[in-house]
Amino acid sequence: MGNYRIRIKKSAGKELERIDPLFRRRIIERIQKLSEDPRPKGSKRLSGDDKYRIRQGDYRILYQIFDDTITVIVVRIAHRRDAYRS
């Protein structure tokens, strides 16, 4: 498995900026690890969507995987109580 390119949607980037710096650092590390393994242990595919989610503490990172272009796109970073609301 090759290294995947990580892209973060602009809206997800803004969500990340609003998170406390201590948690933000851990979330960024977790996102960077997706380049090596986009489907790590503990990741779950969301039903009815082509999105996956991983947990980092009380936060959820929602992302899409495009195997044909070897890309992972982070679409949402939110506290668990807000992560699945549109």
pLDDT in tens, 21-70: 999 999 999 999 999 999 999 999 998 778 999 999 999 999 999 999 99
Band (pLDDT 50/70/90 cuts) for residue 77 is very high
DSSP 49: S
Report the pLDDT value the prediction gives residue 2, as an integer from 0 to 100.
64
d(CA 67, CA 75): 16
Q: Are 43 and 37 in contact (CB under 8 A)?
A: no
Strand order, beta sheet including 44-45: 5-8, 71-79, 59-66, 51-56, 44-45
CATH number of 5-79: 3.30.2310.20
Q: Kindly tell me if the per-residue pLDDT of 86 is higher than 80.
A: no
Q: Are 33 and 20 in contact (CB under 8 A)?
A: no
Report the pLDDT value the prediction gives residue 18, as an integer from 0 to 100.
95
Domain ranges of the chain: 5-79
